[in-house]
A and B are shown apart, each in its own frame.
Chain A
Amino acid sequence: DARVTQTPRHKVTEMGQEVTMRCQPILGHNTVFWYRQTMMQGLELLAYFRNRAPLDDSGMPKDRFSAEMPDATLATLKIQPSEPRDSAVYFCASGFWTVNTEAFFGQGTRLTVV
């Protein structure tokens, strides 16, 4: 049963610490998305990659957030330094993009910055 795997599922960290979230997309998928979900802002697109190349990261605060795909089986989202306003659920989703295909979401990483 193919699925997107995200680690860790939960993370509590102190303000100022670095946070790294990892995502293993479904094998064969060539597009990876990072979303952030909060009660106030809903589901926001932070960045997405196609064939490991970043296509758009305009939704991401550039000064503290970075997203990479070191290889086809791993996508990372880093926050350095973290702030309390970064507390949210971060979802990774993957898909095989030809035309008009669905995104498969991971279970999410619930981040709390205290």
Chain B
Amino acid sequence: GQQVMQIPQYQHVQEGEDFTTYCNSSTTLSNIQWYKQRPGGHPVFLIQLVKSGEVKKQKRLTFQFGEAKKNSSLHITATQTTDVGTYFCAGRTSGTYKYIFGTGTRLKVLA
């Protein structure tokens, strides 16, 4: 079945450093979403990417969808303590409403 892997599993950074998480799907995706889950909280939608090679920015966050629509990345510039949490990608294949979540990357930011 479809699998979505993320690397790294954990990342500790000093405040102000950059952070990147990578998401890889075993199958071609129709679209991909990114969510953030704070410790003890629930996943909260960040963004959606649909087009091959698409790049979207939200303030310090940059999201990219690969040309082959099988991978994606999230880059955070100059991390802040408020960026702490687990970042998940969730991929959907065409013909289904089903989103498969990636394994997640847990980010810890040291002040």
Q: Is the CB of B43 within 8 A of A48?
A: no
Binds B, one of A18-26, A66-74, A79-87, A102-110: A102-110
Q: Chain B at the A interface: mostly helix, strand, loop or mixed?
A: loop
Interface residues on chain A, size class: 20 to 34
CA distance A43 to B99 in the complex (A): 11
Interface residues of B (CB under 8 A from A): 30-31, 33, 41-45, 48, 50, 88, 96-104
Interface residues of A (CB under 8 A from B): 31, 33, 35, 42-45, 48, 50, 55-56, 91, 93, 97, 100, 102-108
Residue contacts A-B, CB under 8 angstroms, 24 given: A35-B101, A42-B103, A42-B104, A43-B88, A45-B99, A48-B98, A50-B97, A55-B97, A56-B98, A91-B43, A93-B43, A97-B97, A100-B30, A100-B31, A102-B45, A102-B48, A103-B43, A104-B45, A105-B42, A105-B43, A105-B44, A106-B42, A107-B42, A108-B42
